[in-house]
Structure 1
Amino acid sequence: MINRFIHCRRCVVKFGGILIAAALAVTIGWAFASYPQPAESVQAAAPERILIAYYSQSGHTEAVAKAIQQETGGDLYRIRTNIAYPKNAPAMQSQAKAEYNEGLRPSLAEPMPNMSRYDVVFLGFPNWYNAPPAGVFTFLKQTDWKGKTIVPFVTYGLSGWGSSIDDIRAAAPDAILAKGLAVHASQAGNCKEAVVSWLDSLGIYAAEGGRNR
């Protein structure tokens, strides 16, 4: 399972391309160095101070969200909008990308939770087109993030995190951003081991009766 914000695929290059690849690696390293690194640990919070907010279209992200809830005891909140998406994946991604480019912030279909109750917010969504769905931005923009920690998680098919981390930073600059978890959609239904390992690495205490108590 992937539990880093940035992951690289191993590549095989011809000898003639090594210098170019090295130059690109240096450039990319400089670019990433300009961003603050995600927090490697999360301050312990009581279950009632933890929220797991997620957007899920096909059920993959919901499966991960429920695995997190089982381990932490936090509250679940599903981010919903009134936008209808095509069932055809390419058409859905095309629509979602257009919404992203237009900066669409659709209204949420259900009332926001009382965010003042929460210190730690797990935020999950599918990475359709290298970025969060429009409804996630609405959720982010409707919250005062000062003093709160966002712990992101995504499900994906090909693109891993894409630009999601930068998008979260831009939408919630006052939040503390913690190390996230990326789960391939094909593994979402069997993600408990990855979730437990990730939560352990963050220092999150499990729910009463769960793994760590």
Structure 2
Amino acid sequence: MSKTSKWIAGIIVVILLAVIGGALFVHFRTADSTNTPKPSNVQKRGQRMKAPKTLIVYYSRTGNTKAVAELIQQEVGGDLAQIETKTSRPSNYRAEVEQNAREQEQSVKPALKSNLPDLKQYDRIFIGSPTWNMALPQAVVSFMANNDFAGKTVIPFNTNGGYGVGSVFTQIKQGTSGARVLKGFSIKGGEEINGILLAIKGNRRVTVSKEIRTWLTSINQQQ
């Protein structure tokens, strides 16, 4: 074989080795990229975050706050629970007003029935209450004093006879120390002083449902 032929053969061998080496490099790089696990904390597009475990707890005399609680449950799911005192409350409106006023003035915390679930299992807690004497009924104060809200998300809601929320939301914020308290919802209910008891029913209930949906959207609590 001439020197020229040997030189050409050598060039061809070098080229072939380069081509084979490049192909092997691409193959192993692709395989490594394919087999590398993706970080587990990366949320995929369209993936929904886990819904919080929800409790909707309420205190209601004439059913209006209960109606709002039920409408909230329709929107977000979760468990529904009613705050009840061990001792029966007066059925007469005037007698209830007088007893409640005394309890508020003397900071009485009435004993509650043990029918409420353990709050430890919940992430998000809606607390519903009417406005009594421009403040919380003391039964709701008892509920808050009996529980630890640290690390929870608390969302208040309220019904009233037309005089507004009073100090209800402020008291709930103060009584749930350590919680993240979101913007509350307040709506006019019945007027027991005028003999109007359950007002959130029929067409009124449909209207309130729409208002609740708007509120939940505004605080990003639709689910």
TM-score when scaled to structure 1?
Answer: 0.70
1:136 aligns with 2:153: no
Question: SS in structure 2 opposite 1:188?
Answer: coil
Matched with 1:96 is 100
What is the CA deviation profile of residues 149-180 of structure 1, one whole-angstrom value per residue up to 9, with x for unaligned ones?
Answer: 11001110032111112212322222211101
CA distance in 2, matches of 1:154, 1:197: 16
Letter of the 2:117 counterpart = P
97, 118, 121: which is aligned to 2:122? Answer: 118
Hey, what's the Cα distance between the residues in 2 that align with 1:57 and 1:203? 29
CA RMSD of aligned residues (A): 1.7
Match of 2:221 in 1: 204
Are 1:45 and 1:119, in contact at CA under 8 Å, matched by a contact in 2? no
Map of 1:29-178 to 2, 5 A cutoff?
46=51, 49-178=53-182
For the Cα contact (< 8 Å) 2:169–2:184, is it kept in 1? no
In 2: Cα distance, 1:129 partner to 1:45 partner: 40
Q: How much identity, in percent, do the aligned residues show?
A: 36
- The whole-number CA distance in structure 1 between the counterparts of 2:177 and 2:200 is 29
Aligned length: 162
Which residue identity lines up with residue 119 of structure 2 in the other structure?
A: M
Look at both structures and tell me which one has the larger radius of gyration over its CA atoms.
Answer: 2
Runs of 5+ in structure 2 lacking a partner?
A: 1-48, 191-198
Higher relative contact order (CA 8 A, sep 6+): 1
Q: Letter of the 2:94 partner, please give it.
A: P
Q: Tell me the distance in 2 between the aligned counterparts of 1:45 and 1:164.
A: 31
User: Could you say which residue in structure 1 is the equivalent of 2:200?
Assistant: 188
Q: CA deviation at 1:198?
A: 0.7
CA distance in 2 between counterparts of 1:160 and 1:173 reads 24
Q: Secondary structure at the match of 2:62?
A: coil
Does the 8 Å contact 2:60/2:129 carry over to 1? yes
1:93–1:110 CA distance, 2 compared to 1 (3 A): same
Structure 1 residue runs of 4+, over 4 Å off?
Answer: none
In structure 2, relative to structure 1, the CA distance for the partners of 1:205 and 1:158 (3 Å cut) is closer
Question: 1:77 & 1:88 partners in 2: Cα distance?
Answer: 24
Q: Is the 8 A contact 1:45 1:120 kept in 2?
A: no
SS at match of 2:200: helix
The whole-number CA distance in structure 1 between the counterparts of 2:95 and 2:211 is 31
